[in-house]
Amino acid sequence: MEMLFASGNAHKKEELEQLLAGRHTLLLPMQAGLVFDFEENGETFAENALGKALDLYRLSDGKRPVIADDSGLVVPALNGEPGVRTARYGSERYGRLLEAHERNLYLLENMRHLEGDSRKANFVCAIALVLSPQRLFIVQEEIQGRIIARETGTGGFGYDPVFFIDEANATMASLSKEEKNRFSHRGRAARRLLTLLDSL
């Protein structure tokens, strides 16, 4: 199936296509001649994912199915931060969007007083699929872990270097691409989506 992907990120598109086992093709809005810009102001990952998917579906006049995702890091001891503001974490304090390494340092600074179970965290990924205005599907998955005291590993991106998965005995940034796809929140959500797509 050929679907529009509500993102401007070619790397993210390629990663999701791989997770969908090469059985579905994704098109970025610009590849379909569309100018797409969506403000993520939902209170949950699912709201943001569905909002993006519906917005692009309307923009494209419903010519193709649309999928969108939203994901981020949730630290219960920080009242759920960074949460839906994962990519913008720290921007209010510093007045600009921070680079990934800077966001990690900001997170570690805010958690420096926390120990043990207080350092538990979850990565969450919601993926929305819009087939028509009345046929909407959302899958959401998570991977549980904890935030360690310093960055470890050179792979991945974002908070991967500080997110340790006990099940894998490694940070997300220390995993191979295949291992990350197996353990990650996005990999788990994509497999749920693939099952759904195969049933349609």
DSSP the chain: -EEEES-S-HHHHHHHHHHTTTSSEEE-GGGGT---------SSHHHHHHHHHHHHHHHTTTSS-EEEEEEEEE-GGGTT-BGGGGGGTTHHHHTSPPPHHHHHHHHHHHTTT--GGGGEEEEEEEEEEEEETTEEEEEEEEEEEEE-SS---SSS-TTGGGEEETTTTEEGGGS-HHHHHHHSHHHHHHHHHHHHHHH-
The CA-to-CA distance between both ends of the chain, in Å, stands at 11
Residue ranges making up the domain that contains 124: 2-199
Using 50 as the pLDDT threshold, list the residues of the chain that sit under it: none
- Per-residue model confidence (pLDDT) at position 129: 97
Q: What per-residue confidence (pLDDT) applies to 118?
A: 97
pTM for the whole structure = 0.93
Give residues with Cβ within 8 angstroms of 199, minimum separation 6: none
pLDDT value of position 22: 78
Query: Does 198 qualify as catalytic in the annotation?
Result: no
* Side-chain half-sphere exposure of 108, counting CA atoms within 13 A: 16
Which is catalytic among the residues 55, 70, 160, 198?
A: 70
- The CATH number of whichever domain residue 32 belongs to comes to 3.90.950.10
Residue 200, classified by CB atoms within 10 Å of its CB into exposed (0-12), middle (13-18) or buried (19+), is: exposed
What confidence score (pLDDT) does residue 21 get?
A: 78
Round the CA-based radius of gyration of the chain to a whole number and report it.
17
**What backbone torsions phi and psi does residue 194 show, to the nearest 5 degrees?**
-60, -40
Q: How many domains is the chain built from?
A: 1
Gap between the Cα atoms of 171 and 152, Å rounded:
7
Q: How far is CA 110 from CA 103, 105, 134, in A?
A: 11, 9, 43
